Amino acid sequence: MPSEFLPVSKQEMLDRGINQLDFIYISGDAYVDHPSFGPAIISRTLQLHGFTVGMIAQPDWKDKASIQLFGEPKLGFLISSGNMDSMVNHYYVSKKKRQNDAYTPGGEAGKRPDHATVVYSNLVRQTYRNTPIIIGGIEASLRRMAHYDYWSDSFKRSILLDSQADLISYGMGEQSIVEIAQALQSGIHVRDITFIKGTVYKTKVIEGIYDSIMLPSFESMKQQKEIYAKSFMVQYANTDPFNGKTLIESYPNGQYVVQNPPQPPLTTEEMDTAYALPYMRTYHPSYEEKGGVPAIAEIKFSLISNRGCFGGCNFCALTFHQGRIMQVRSHNSILEEAQELTKDLDFKGYIHDVGGPTANFRQPSCEKQMTHGVCKNKQCLFPEPCKNLIVDHSDYLDLLRKLRKIPKVKKVFIRSGIRFDYLMEDQDDSFFKELIEHHVSGQLKVAPEHISDAVLSKMGKPQKSVYQRFTDKYYKLNEKAGKNQFLVPYLMSSHPGSSLKEAIELAEYLRDLGYMPEQVQDFYPTPSTLSTVMYYTELDPRTMTKVYVPKNPHEKAMQRALIQYRNPNNYDLVMEALKKAGREDLIGFDKKCLIKPRRLSAQKGTDYKNKTKITKNTTGSKSEKSNSKGVPTPKSVHTTKSTVVDKKKKTIRNVHKKK
Q: Which residue has the higher pLDDT, 250 or 635?
A: 250
End-to-end CA distance of the chain: 58
Give me the architecture of the 10-199 domain, per CATH: 3-Layer(aba) Sandwich (3.40)
- Give the model confidence (pLDDT) of 642-651 as tens digits: 333 333 333 3
Per-residue pLDDT, 621: 34
Per-residue pLDDT, 377: 84
How far apart, in Å, are the Cα atoms of 627 and each of 542, 567, 633?
34, 11, 7
In this predicted structure, the answer to whether residue 613 has a pLDDT above a threshold of 70 is no
Q: Return the SS3 of 110.
A: coil
Per-residue pLDDT, 649: 36
List all residues 6 or more positions away from 297 whose beta carbon is below 8 Å from its beta carbon. none
Give the residue-averaged pLDDT of 374-383. 92
In this predicted structure, the answer to whether residue 629 has a pLDDT above a threshold of 80 is no
In this predicted structure, the answer to whether residue 370 has a pLDDT above a threshold of 90 is no
- Give the model confidence (pLDDT) of 529-539 as tens digits: 999 999 999 99
Give the residue-averaged pLDDT of 4-13. 97
Share the mean pLDDT of the chain.
91
Per-residue pLDDT, 599: 60
Band of residue 620 on the pLDDT scale cut at 50, 70, 90: very low
199 HSE (CA, 13 A, CB side): 23
- Give the model confidence (pLDDT) of 429-470 as tens digits: 999 999 999 999 899 999 999 999 999 999 999 999 999 999
Per-residue pLDDT, 654: 40
- Give the model confidence (pLDDT) of 49-60 as tens digits: 999 999 999 999
> What pTM did the predictor assign?
0.89
- Give the model confidence (pLDDT) of 292-328 as tens digits: 999 999 899 999 999 999 999 999 999 999 999 999 9
Per-residue pLDDT, 655: 45
Bond before 383 cis per omega within 30 degrees? yes
Q: Return the SS3 of 342.
A: helix
Distance, in Å, from the CA atom of 433 to the CA atom of 415, rounded to the nearest integer, reads 16
Per-residue pLDDT, 627: 39
Question: Cβ atoms within 10 A of the Cβ of 621, count?
Answer: 12
Per-residue pLDDT, 630: 36
Distance, in Å, from the CA atom of 10 to the CA atom of 31, rounded to the nearest integer, reads 16
Distance, in Å, from the CA atom of 4 to the CA atom of 9, rounded to the nearest integer, reads 14
In this predicted structure, the answer to whether residue 636 has a pLDDT above a threshold of 70 is no
How far apart, in Å, are the Cα atoms of 297 and each of 101, 107, 138, 410?
13, 12, 21, 19
488 HSE (CA, 13 A, CB side): 18
Burial class (CB in 10 A: 0-12, 13-18, 19+), 594: buried
What's the angle, vertex CA 303, arms to CA 302 and CA 306, rounded to 5?
A: 135
What percentage of residues in the chain have a pLDDT greater than 90? 86
- Give the model confidence (pLDDT) of 79-100 as tens digits: 999 999 999 999 999 999 999 9
Burial class (CB in 10 A: 0-12, 13-18, 19+), 49: exposed
Q: Which residue has the higher pLDDT, 185 or 372?
A: 185
In this predicted structure, the answer to whether residue 610 has a pLDDT above a threshold of 60 is no
- Give the model confidence (pLDDT) of 111-168 as tens digits: 999 999 999 999 999 999 999 999 999 999 999 999 999 999 999 999 999 999 999 9
Give me the architecture of the 302-563 domain, per CATH: Alpha-Beta Horseshoe (3.80)
In one-letter notation, the amino acid at residue 473 is: K
In this predicted structure, the answer to whether residue 600 has a pLDDT above a threshold of 70 is no
Domains of the chain, residue spans: 10-199, 302-563
Q: What is the DSSP string of 477-503?
A: HHHHHT---EEEEEEEES-TT--HHHH
List the beta bridge partners of residue 214: 248
Q: Which residue has the higher pLDDT, 250 or 298?
A: 250
Question: Cβ atoms within 10 A of the Cβ of 203, count?
Answer: 15
Q: Return the SS3 of 32.
A: strand
Per-residue pLDDT, 605: 40
Give the residue-averaged pLDDT of 242-264. 97
In this predicted structure, the answer to whether residue 47 has a pLDDT above a threshold of 80 is yes
**Helix (H) or strand (E) run with residue 259 in it:** strand 255-259
Dihedral over Cα of 482, 483, 484, 490: its sign: negative
In this predicted structure, the answer to whether residue 653 has a pLDDT above a threshold of 80 is no
Residues 553, 94 contacting (CB under 8 angstroms)? yes
Band of residue 519 on the pLDDT scale cut at 50, 70, 90: confident
What's the angle, vertex CA 24, arms to CA 256 and CA 174, rounded to 5?
A: 65
